[in-house]
Structure 1
Amino acid sequence: MTHDNSTRVQAPNYSVAASSLYDGPSLKPSGGVGPDSCSNPVTTLLVRRKTPFQVSTFNCRTLNPVSRKQELAHSAFLHHNDVISLQEHRQHHKESLRIENILSYQLITASATKNSVNASVGGVGFLLSPRIQKSLLSVEKVNSRIILLHVNGNPRLTVLSCYAPTNCSDIEDKTAFYNALTRIISKVPPHNMLAVCGDFNAKLSNSYGFTYHQSTNDNGERLLDLVDQHQLIVANRCFQKPANKIWTYEDPKRAKH
């Protein structure tokens, strides 16, 4: 999803205190823990006139073993991905946020959680190109399902990586996820360019644009409510393509979604 309600006036200076909004710390580009202020020495602007950049999203289902990380970085290089929003990486670690250098790319992950049989599940993060690393202001963990980054530019770019509960999850879990997401989006300065990326486990009927499904599920209804509330656009329903080119996930039974 994308959001662009930027204006021509100069964006205000701001500093977000991680402890006031999120359950984890933020990382500076250098890897130090703590929120960044406007005195940050980062001067490279990512978002500029006539300078394209690419933000993508990918449910990787796992980044184990290490070769998966190298494959991901190599693919990002081939396809010129500046930011890849990651979900379900299944990397469990003690740190709230972990930084790893993969080839020339930087992998930043919020830890996955453990289920009842001690298996790692979920986990969100970002893969950042060398170009993004030069403009990165901060990365902040909201919770185990939401992480966001701020990138220097004119205007500034804010990217969220989200992993929503499945459609059959408890109503309380889904409500908590969307409540947290709403709070975070509301805190993003209106001058920023906003991209909300992720796996929402949502199905939208083709009455809402070019989509694969004939009906909308509960997660889809919640997603549409979020879109209406914050004046967002569901970007991947805007492409007029044949049905066999607009599905994004194939389950183990070969059903497409």
Structure 2
Amino acid sequence: MAHYRPDTLEHAPLGREAAYPEHYDAGLLYSITRTANRTPLGIEEGALPFVGEDEWHAFEVSWLNARGKPRVAVARFRLPADSPNLIESKSWKLYLNGFNQTRFESRQSVIDTLVSDLSRAAGAAVSVELFDVDDEVLSPRRLPGECLDDLDIEVTDYTPSVEHLRVSDEEVVEEALHSHLLKSNCPVTGQPDWGSVLIRYRGPRIDREGLLRYLIGYRQHQDFHEHCVEHIFMDLMARARPERLLVLARYVRRGGLDISPWRATPGERPPEPLRLARQ
């Protein structure tokens, strides 16, 4: 039976040995409520201070056509940030592996199945796209704006500290800044999650050295990708008070899946879909 009821990590497949399924089984999907991680940040469900999505790419998608011939694709999934649940990543991987020896009448029937199962698990509409493995849309691109990584700074702490976030002056600017030094850790297994982060805003100029120290502070922080991005968004809104803000992270794939959450003030949108070389 599918774990469509929001659950805790206690019974999640993450960090446990699991046999890979040989056939399709929607019951492998494991939902986790977002509320527990949002409450400590002062985020109230039903009154979210941001809009956004969790964008996933799956690079190990395969199924059998009606005649038993294997097909392969790269999938892009988008979960809305206001969905009540996120889907635990290992359960998602196991679920997708169940397609490998399952016959489908058409490519569209694969998409329809994914949309139905994932939307039910997330508690909101999930969009699904399938791409050929050599589709140009999957070509690596660069994050826009200026990179912070060459700033010559001293770093002494590796947990997030809002004290590093400050404005350097009250002049209102519009700029995009990014860093490839983002690293957090899985809250269950402790495995490292490597990523890049884009911050685009309009408001008082944010001190760049302090911002980079703050981002490096996630290096020993344990949390899901989605909640790290929400943490960054909430801290920047509280400390810098920008008029507009977008925070987007592109995490390196693990187990054939990459996750790229973004959160923004209403009206803001991320750049056109992009994938970085490390993904």
> Which TM class, normalised by the smaller chain length?
under 0.3
TM-score, length-scaled by structure 2: 0.22
Larger radius of gyration: 2
TM-score, length-scaled by structure 1: 0.23
Between Structure 1 and Structure 2, the one with more strand by share is: 2
